[in-house]
Amino acid sequence: MQQFWYWHIATYLFLGGLGGGMMTFAFVLGVIVAPSLLTSSILVFPVFVAFICLGVGTFLLVFELGQWKVFYRAFVTKTAVIKWGAVLLSISMIFGVLFIFWEITWLAGLPIIPYEGFARACLAIGGVAGAGVMVYTGVLLASMKARPFWNTPALPVLFAVSALSTGAALMSVCVGVWPFPDAWLLNTTMYPTTVPAWGSGAAALACTEMTEWLHTADAVLIVCEILVLGLFVLLQFCASNETAKAHANRWVRGSWAGIFWGLMVGCGLVLPLCLNLMGGVAGAIASPILALAGGLLLRFMIVWSYQRRLMPSEYKYYTREIQGHEPIMDYWKKDKYWEEI
Amino acid sequence: MTRYAMVMDQRRCIGCHSCTIACRTWNELPVDIVYNPVVSQGATGIWPNVHLEFQPMICMHCEHPACVPACPTGASRQDDDGIVWVEPTQCMGCKVCANACPYGARVYNEEEGFMRKCTFCKDRVRVGDQPICVQTCHQKARTFGDLDDPNSEVSQLVNQYYTERVYPELGTDPQIYYIPSRGRGRD
Amino acid sequence: MTITSLDLHAEGVTVRKTCCYFCHQNCGVLAYVKDGKVIFAEGDPTHPTNQGGLCARGNQALTFLNNPSRVNYPLKRAGEKGENKWERISWDQAFSEIAAKLNQIKEESGPEAVAAAAGTLRTDDWARRRFLNLFGTPNGFHNALLCWIPTFNIETAVSGWSPFETDLGSSKVIILWGMNPGASSMPGAHGYFDLQRTNGLKIIVVDPRYTETAAHADLWLPVRPGGDTALSLAMLNVIINEGLFDYEFVDKWCEGWDELVEHIQPYTPEWAEPMTWIEPELVRKAARMYGQNRPGNMQWAPTWDEMGRTSGAGIHARAIMRAICGNLDVPGGDGMPGPAAYITDEEMEANDYLPDDVKTKQLGSDKFKMTTWPGYGRLAEISKWRWGKAFTGEWFCEAHGPSVFKAILTGDPYQVRALFCSGTNPQSSYGDAKMVYAALRKVEFLVVCEYFITPTALQADYILPVAGAIERPVIHTNYGVTDSIVASERGIQPLYERKTDYDIWRGLGLACGQSEDMWPWETLEDAYYYMISPLNLPVSSYDEFVETYGMYYPPLQYKKHERRGYFATASGKVELKSSVMEELGLPGLPSYLPPAEDELDDPEVAKEFPIVLTTGGGFMPYHHSEHFNNPLFRYIYPDPYFTINPELAEKLKIKQGDWCWIETRRGRIKQRANVEAAVDPRVVYTQRGWWFPERDQDLTGPNPFGCLESNTNVLTSIDDEDCDPYTGCWANRGLMCKVYKCTEFDHEFTEKDTEFSIPGDDFWKLGGGVHKAPSEQKIAIDFAEPIYAQPDFEVPEGCTWDYKTRRAYDANGRYYDAGSGWMIDPETGAYYQYGTGYKYVSANGDFLLDEANGQFYDFAGQPSAGPQPTFEVPEMCVWDPITQTARHKDTGYRYDPNSGWLIDDATSVYYEKYTLRAYDPTTNLLVDMQTGKYYSMEDPTVEVTVGGEN
């Protein structure tokens, strides 16, 4: 009843958060934690993947619009939440692309913009905007006071934590599977140039370190997410609003309990955490994939908990309204009796 | 200043859906779009001590609408006389306003691609006619007018009777006033 | 991409005063027409009925007009019956082929083998009747027996005309008996609730459901469905025994009071409790509220006529209640319209052309006499005698619909071979729908005049497209029985090749060989102009009448009986004990008959079917079986719902929205559960009319369009025994049923569910088939020996008693006045001496006049010169004692003793008595008619010249 957003938006929220989270991590790693990484190729692939996530998310958003031809209007007016989302999304994507462009030209020995500060700035702006995007995905829903299950400050926190955790997971995969140590790049470059102080061996070492760092971060974030999710659902249970309570009920012990406990909490959070702690291939590959699936499922469950607060009379009206009565609608559209006459 | 508002007299409403249908006809709405359903729980209570009440729903044309600030494109807007409406050519169909509206007043049709909502029949009101739902109500359950004019019928009804509004606690300041059919509203 | 906006005030938009045509109210509708297209339609703010409002049905007029599935051309069946394959033909071809077939059937089987059903005030019914009368068949019918006609005829038998016009202005109390204007006639509802707030009008609602209307009531009697008659009798008992009636009125204007008082004694509120489920105290309260608040109204509702066996007595009891409380034709009471000044429907119908021997062949007239020719004929005769006008034959005198369908199936009492259906869908609207389905499949020749392909039209041989709302002019005269007119014009000419019913009947009549003289009006407007012509309004066309006046209301006259000296009954009084009913062998006073099924009389049935079923109340936004193909409506109301109390629902484990079976002895249907406390926990209420136009993919199954699946008429009973013995209305209310949830294995409506039996009540035990021929079926009572009114005086020799007018007539057509012993001429009111036949003349003395030779006698029998003049007769004049005037010897002009002038009675011209010159009022001169010369008034000999004329 009164559902307006479906899988496009759920996926968009997931991908936006994911891309935003990855951008944030790229910023944290490349600018704060290990500035030396800035000039290695390690960050190119994660930032590219983040860009793809944000791009696909944006495509889904635009694709879902009723009149996508006027989507540019989102930039020209007002201060709506969704408008800031679009702005942040764009900034994050643009500076991500700029960073990739700088890095490739730099590593390829074609330093069109020969300043490291530029790369750092790109990563910083893109990363902060990415952080904004992942919070925005939650704020967008949380600002709907019409929808009690969304309208809670816990939701942006939940989405942000989930975005970071999924971001860390995907980033660790990106870094872990990156097959090209810098040496490859260096050896194939036509022009020797300002080679980083540490050689290809150092780069490979950095890869491993970074993966481990991300695994650790992911484990911490998954624990955080479990806590925030618990808090979120608990808050909904205690809400003053029957609609929110009904949704929480559905999640925890209603028709969605199996999905919630089994798939989301079990396979999407607890299992990845365990695998993560176990380490090895399971920790490197299975754990992040499950975490990502859990994050996606979370967005779907949230988006499908869209119910507007209804008066009992409205509820009766909407249950009675036409649903699954396509023949009636078709009947109206056709003019068939008289076509042949 | 003009501030349009509507009073729904639930003592008179008999739930005949004529406003719903008249609105669909005047506004030439697609089949699956309804601006103003009339809802009811049916008879409530324990037989034979029961009560029956109908509630005509419509856009509340809130003083502080939730939908307008949510709109990223500026297609959703509020006029000085309080009428909240959507400019279809500017709407990109993101449906965020529909999610923001606590009253379910915004309706969307895939084929059209823009958001629709009750306009208080501003095309009629501005040439001096009543909105079609008010004009067609044979029970005179709906009254439309200028709340800023102390002599208007809506002002008098709102000031004279106990009225209720839907979810005023959300801070939207809805401008549809209901005179309930029982309780303090019964004269 | 954009939202279009209409401009009703734009250049080139004309406004036409049309009317809504989706129920009987005919609310005013303004149609905005631009370039021959209707761009919008809205309520007419100046219309007396709706004052600018319109209900959902009225608001969908444009959708209806342009609905893509409307039938727009005459169609002839191209495939097998029911296959939904059609060939478009011309009107000429349609008329000639149909007429040929009808004439062939008439030739072979007599005209009565052609029957015709029609919708309710949705066709030009008088034209239909005219056609049928001229064709010679008495078998026209409507669903009228379920709607007002039983009430009208019984009330007319009691009080001379049904007092149906509620005059609410100064009313103190109104009983809305089984009426829910909140869902069925919106404009009315507005009036009641307004008066309740402003005028202190008390509203009593009798309804087994807690309805929109009951929600507003001062007193609500939640009666057991079908218990209305017991309730009426109990209320009548309280009113009589507690002396709540109008003593003066009863004394002066009622006949049969003493018998009534005695007759009503057993029917106490305590007696009624098991049948009505209402506490005796509440009944007393209602009776007191009604009896003590005068003037009061009782509003008729279709329920009165839909309970089958029990209906007639209840109607009679309520008619008595209205009368003895002194509410008849008083301000604020139950208004009786006077005889209409315009030409009524009855006069347009040409009933005189139907031969008497054919009238006796009317189906059902041997069983249900009040609404067929025996009863109607007698009542119409009385009305014409008393008032000069009668109520309409269409509706008020009809074949018994179910008997027609039975005759189609069984050939008993004779085979009906052809059926016309105009604006009706019998498949949904007649009782025992399964049997109707079989009859429609079987009938040899079926012609349907329709808007859409309905389940009935699906079985047709020909479908004729009919003009609907906005496409036709409408005169609203309340079925032709009121004295006012509310008129409307057409907005546009019918679109495509649609025609008004009048055009169809006229065309068909001419094609059947009826004379053009019998159909003198080329268009419906011409016919309507003819109907309003006696009003002598200064208009030259019907449309002009609509635009200038729009309506005609005669001056309001209350208490017409006091002015005239009689009610329009045989006795001239309110016949509490009805002489017409007694003449027909029916009980003259209301005696309780139980409803078709109830737990007290049929414990065996109640054991199997423990729940009381009530069917057929109106529900918005649909109307009868109409608009189910309207997506505007279906979108907000897509499925049929039956109402069940939460208490019962819990017991049966039924939840809101569950599909359930509802089963009676006659069959079962499915609807979804609407669980709400709107009905008693012992009752369920099913919606009527449902069919599913969207299920048009496979129409060959046993249930095309799902026309039986959720059709509440599968549950209702039309067995003769269950019908009202007065009027033949069949049982829709107060039946017994059971309800159970559709299960996974039992949710399909199968071929087995379409089997039926005659009589239907045997279906649950004996299964499908004809178990008893219709003519062997009995009705609920045995006819008594007819009782004809007997004289309460000794009929003098030479006079014969006529029970119809209750007078003893002599050979000259004068009747005997027992009070004076004289004979009275009914035409002139003049008295004649019994025996001699001399006329009584009272002029300057009393004389008797032998009209044969002009001889006067005095009372002693001696010849006399007759009356003498009281003034001096001038010399040129002669006294004539017969006319008691003095007249001029030569010219015969009458002498006026007051002015001293002569008057020509033919021209009313005054003449100077000596010169015989005429008075010319324009010049104030005398004029010589031969020469044309003018003379002075002062001196008649002086000639005067007038302005050049001379």
Q: Do C678 and B43 touch (CB under 8 A)?
A: yes
Q: Do C53 and B47 touch (CB under 8 A)?
A: no
**Locate tokens 């004269």: which residue?**
B187
Task: Report the C-alpha gap between A244 and C52 in whole angstroms.
Answer: 44
Q: Which residues of C303-324 are buried (b: 16+ CB within 10 A; e: fewer)?
A: bbbbbbbbbbbbbbbbbbbbbb
Q: Tens digits of per-residue pLDDT, A267-308?
A: 999 999 999 888 777 778 888 899 999 999 999 999 999 988
C433 falls within a domain: yes
From B109, which residue of chain A is nearest by alpha-carbon distance? Answer: A66
Chains with ≥3 Cβ pairs under 8 A against B?
A, C
From A328, which residue of chain C is nearest by alpha-carbon distance? Answer: C694
Q: Tens digits of per-residue pLDDT, C139-164?
A: 999 888 888 899 999 999 999 999 98
Structure tokens at C200: 């202190």
Residue A194 confidence class, pLDDT cut points 50, 70, 90: very low
Contact C550, C539 (CB under 8 A): no
**Which residue among C722, C751, C768 closes a domain?**
C768
Contact C779, C721 (CB under 8 A): yes
Question: Could you tell me where the beta strands, DSSP code E, fall in C183-295?
Answer: 202-206, 219-221, 254-255
Closest CB from A146, A313, A317 relative to B101: A146
Structure tokens at C860: 């002693």
At residue C350's C-alpha, the angle toward residues C344 and C354, to 5°, is 140
Q: Do A321 and C657 touch (CB under 8 A)?
A: no
pTM: 0.86
pLDDT for the residue C949:
47
Q: Do C635 and A321 touch (CB under 8 A)?
A: yes
ipTM, two decimals: 0.92
Task: Report the C-alpha gap between B38 and B18 in whole angstroms.
Answer: 9
Where residue C379 sits, what CATH number does that domain have? 3.40.50.740
Chain B touched by A323 (CB under 8 Å):
no
Task: Report the C-alpha gap between C114 and A158 in whole angstroms.
Answer: 78
Structure tokens at A29: 């790693």
Closest CB from C72, C73, C631 relative to A328: C631
* Gyration radius of chain B's alpha carbons: 16
pLDDT in tens, chain B (187 residues): 899 999 999 888 888 899 999 998 898 888 888 899 999 988 888 888 888 889 999 999 999 999 999 998 889 999 999 999 999 998 998 899 999 999 989 988 888 889 999 999 999 998 888 999 999 998 889 999 999 999 999 999 999 999 999 999 999 999 999 998 875 444 4
Domain boundaries along the sequence of chain A: 2-340
Q: Tens digits of per-residue pLDDT, C875-917?
A: 888 888 888 888 888 888 888 888 888 888 888 888 888 888 8
Closest CA of chain C from B43, distance in Å: 5
Work out how many CB contacts closer than 8 A connect A with C.
Answer: 54
Cβ contacts of C454 on chain A, cutoff 8 Å: none
Residue B120 has φ and ψ, to the nearest 5°, of 55, 25
Domain shared by C758 and C646, yes or no: yes
At residue C930's C-alpha, the angle toward residues C928 and C931, to 5°, is 70
First to last CA, chain A: 41
Range 134-173 of B in CB contact (< 8 A) with A? 166-167, 170-171
Domain shared by C573 and C700, yes or no: no
Per the structure, the count of domains in chain C is 5
**Which residue among C749, C768, C787 closes a domain?**
C768
pLDDT for the residue C695:
84
C113 falls within a domain: yes
Contact C569, C382 (CB under 8 A): yes
Domain shared by C118 and C220, yes or no: no
What is the average pLDDT score of chain C? 89
pLDDT for the residue A340:
46
Task: Report the C-alpha gap between C903 and C921 in whole angstroms.
Answer: 14
Determine the longest span between alpha carbons in chain C, in angstroms.
Answer: 114
Domain shared by C504 and C456, yes or no: yes
Could you list the residue range(s) of the whole structural domain that residue C683 is in?
A: 612-768
Q: Do C631 and A335 touch (CB under 8 A)?
A: no
Task: Report the C-alpha gap between C600 and C534 in whole angstroms.
Answer: 56
Assign domain B4-179 to its CATH architecture.
2-Layer Sandwich (3.30)
Chains with ≥3 Cβ pairs under 8 A against A?
B, C
First to last CA, chain C: 83
Question: Could you tell me where the beta strands, DSSP code E, fall in C373-479?
Answer: 418-422, 445-450, 462-465, 474-476
Taking 60 as the threshold, does the pLDDT of residue A199 lie above it?
no
Cβ contacts of A334 on chain C, cutoff 8 Å: 68
Domain shared by C233 and C331, yes or no: yes
- The pairs formed by B160-169 with CB atoms below 8 angstroms and a separation of 24 or more are B161/B185, B161/B187, B163/B7, B165/B60, B166/A311, B166/B60, B166/B102, B166/B103, B167/A309, B167/B102, B167/B103
Domain shared by C330 and C348, yes or no: no
Residue A178 confidence class, pLDDT cut points 50, 70, 90: low
Closest CB from A317, A327, A332 relative to C695: A327
Name beta bridge partners: C886.
C879
Task: Report the C-alpha gap between C84 and C713 in whole angstroms.
Answer: 24
Domain shared by C372 and C442, yes or no: yes
Structure tokens at C658: 């569950």
Contact C242, C287 (CB under 8 A): yes
Range 82-141 of A in CB contact (< 8 A) with B? 82-83, 86, 140
Cβ contacts of B15 on chain C, cutoff 8 Å: 182, 212, 620
Give, as one character, the DSSP assignment of residue B25: H
Overall residue count recorded for chain B in this entry: 187
Residue to mutate among B99, B101, B115, with most A CBs inside 10 A, is B99
Domain shared by C318 and C331, yes or no: yes
Structure tokens at C475: 């005169």
Q: Do C636 and A331 touch (CB under 8 A)?
A: no
Determine the longest span between alpha carbons in chain A, in angstroms.
Answer: 86
Closest CA of chain B from C451, distance in Å: 20
Q: Do C53 and B140 touch (CB under 8 A)?
A: yes
Q: Do A80 and B70 touch (CB under 8 A)?
A: yes
Q: Are strands C75-77 and C37-43 parallel, antiparallel or unpaired?
A: unpaired
Closest CA of chain C from A56, distance in Å: 27
**Which residue among C49, C65, C81 closes a domain?**
C65
Work out how many CB contacts closer than 8 A connect A with B.
Answer: 124
Task: Report the C-alpha gap between C203 and C304 in whole angstroms.
Answer: 18
Cβ contacts of C636 on chain A, cutoff 8 Å: 317, 320-322
Q: Do A313 and B101 touch (CB under 8 A)?
A: no
Contact C180, C618 (CB under 8 A): yes
From B38, which residue of chain A is nearest by alpha-carbon distance? Answer: A317
From C697, which residue of chain A is nearest by alpha-carbon distance? Answer: A327
Can you spell out the DSSP letters for A176-218?
A: HH----HHHHHHH-SS-----SS-HHHHHHHHHHHHHHHHHHH
Structure tokens at A90: 């764009």
Q: Which residues of C157-178 are buried (b: 16+ CB within 10 A; e: fewer)?
A: bbbbbbbbbbbbeebbbbbbbb
Cβ contacts of A70 on chain B, cutoff 8 Å: 73, 89-92
From C630, which residue of chain A is nearest by alpha-carbon distance? Answer: A332
Where residue C60 sits, what CATH number does that domain have? 3.30.200.210
Contact C518, C509 (CB under 8 A): yes
Closest CB from B32, B53, B72 relative to A86: B72
C868 falls within a domain: no
pLDDT for the residue A329:
67
Helices (H), C24-81: 56-59, 61-66
Residue A174 confidence class, pLDDT cut points 50, 70, 90: confident
Return the SS3 of B108. strand
pLDDT for the residue C74:
95
Q: Which amino acid is at C408?
A: I
Domain shared by C225 and C302, yes or no: yes
Closest CB from A5, A74, A314 relative to B99: A5
Residues in chain C, pLDDT under 70: 1-4, 182-190, 947-950
C7 falls within a domain: no
Taking 50 as the threshold, does the pLDDT of residue A200 lie above it?
no
Cβ contacts of C30 on chain B, cutoff 8 Å: none
Closest CB from B72, B102, B113 relative to A74: B72
The correct answer on CATH 3.30.9.10 for the domain covering A2-340 is no
From B166, which residue of chain A is nearest by alpha-carbon distance? Answer: A311
- Other beta carbons within 10 Å of C850: 15
pLDDT for the residue A333:
59
Return the SS3 of B59. coil
Cβ contacts of A321 on chain C, cutoff 8 Å: 635-636, 638
Closest CA of chain C from A265, distance in Å: 34
Residue A337 confidence class, pLDDT cut points 50, 70, 90: very low
Structure tokens at B52: 């029956």
Closest CA of chain A from B35, distance in Å: 13
Closest CA of chain C from B171, distance in Å: 30
